[in-house]
Amino acid sequence: MPDEEPLAGGNVSAGVVRIGDTVRRPAGPWTPAVHALLTYLRAAGFDGAPEPLGIDDKGREVLRFIPGTVAWGEGFRLLQPARDLARAGRLIRDFHDAVAGFMPPADAHWQVNIPPDRAEIIAHHDLAPWNLVIGDQWTFIDWDMAAPGSRLWDLAWASLGFIPLSADPQLQAPDAAGRLRVFVDAYGLDDRHERQQLAVMLGPRARSMYQFLADRAAQNIEPWATLWHQGHGEAWRSHADYIEGQVARWQTALLA
């Protein structure tokens, strides 16, 4: 068997390795349900998710390796053009439309970190540039947090990263409102009431991440406690304050 090549880049990617054309990741109680989801999506014609290949002899989940560039850090430049931002929005809509027909296994176990607003579909819960590989095919990775949620819940989280909506001056997009409009238009969210809901949901969605990190840090649960002490909690609080203070701007962008 080829050598194991550790794969880094994420905040919670410990134990992820590449072997040949496969990726091996630590499995959990949720893995069978996630693999059922991925198998369904590919059978339904959605090719923006990795191919599941089972469990290896070390108990790790096996996925087909996706070549390309992760669209975060230096890779975020790939999402700067409006046409490419729009492509990400359309890819998310394609996933939501495909997953609508998925019936989870009766014994499905999902990893639920942040309780969603409601259970409408099996959402990804971390649709973000850091989980998008751009190559010949655009593919979302890291499906281990897939669980019941709603389209708007997933889209709100995606908006935070893809615009991005950030309090950090180094990340903040000067044309954030315009990019939000492009992204949501490309997704095809046509109902004005839902667009209003999304504008209001953006801040609380960011604050839910702050609260999640605070709760996990209080319980000393890793890797979240370390991320909290590294300042990620304070960063998410700042993002939430910034976004909630700009609600009228997001509403204007989405409803004008």
Q: pLDDT tens digit string along 181-236?
A: 999 999 999 999 999 999 999 999 999 999 999 999 999 999 999 999 999 999 99
Cα 124 to its chain centre, rounded Å, is 6
Above 60 in pLDDT, residue 1? no
| pLDDT at 176 (0 to 100) | 97
Helices (H), 1-51: 31-43
Torsion of Cα atoms, 57 then 61 then 64 then 69, to 10°: -130
Q: What six digits make up the tokens of 181?
A: 């409009």
| pLDDT at 2 (0 to 100) | 66
- For range 28-38, the mean pLDDT: 97
| pLDDT at 13 (0 to 100) | 57
CA distance 94 to 89: 9
| pLDDT at 105 (0 to 100) | 94
| pLDDT at 5 (0 to 100) | 83
Cα angle, residue 30 at apex, residues 24 and 35 outer, rounded to 5°: 60
Give domain 69-255's CATH architecture. Answer: Orthogonal Bundle (1.10)
pLDDT digits (tens, 9 = 90+) for 50-103: 999 999 999 999 999 999 999 999 999 999 999 999 999 999 999 999 999 999
| pLDDT at 15 (0 to 100) | 83
Q: Are 202 and 250 in contact (CB under 8 A)?
A: yes
* Amino acid at position 201, single letter: M
pLDDT digits (tens, 9 = 90+) for 129-173: 999 999 999 999 999 999 999 999 999 999 999 999 999 998 988
Cα angle, residue 112 at apex, residues 221 and 171 outer, rounded to 5°: 75
pLDDT level of residue 10 (50, 70, 90 thresholds):
low
CA distance 72 to 76: 4
Q: Are 125 and 161 in contact (CB under 8 A)?
A: no
| pLDDT at 4 (0 to 100) | 79
Q: Are 31 and 144 in contact (CB under 8 A)?
A: yes
- For range 122-134, the mean pLDDT: 97
Q: Which residue has the higher pLDDT, 174 or 159?
A: 159
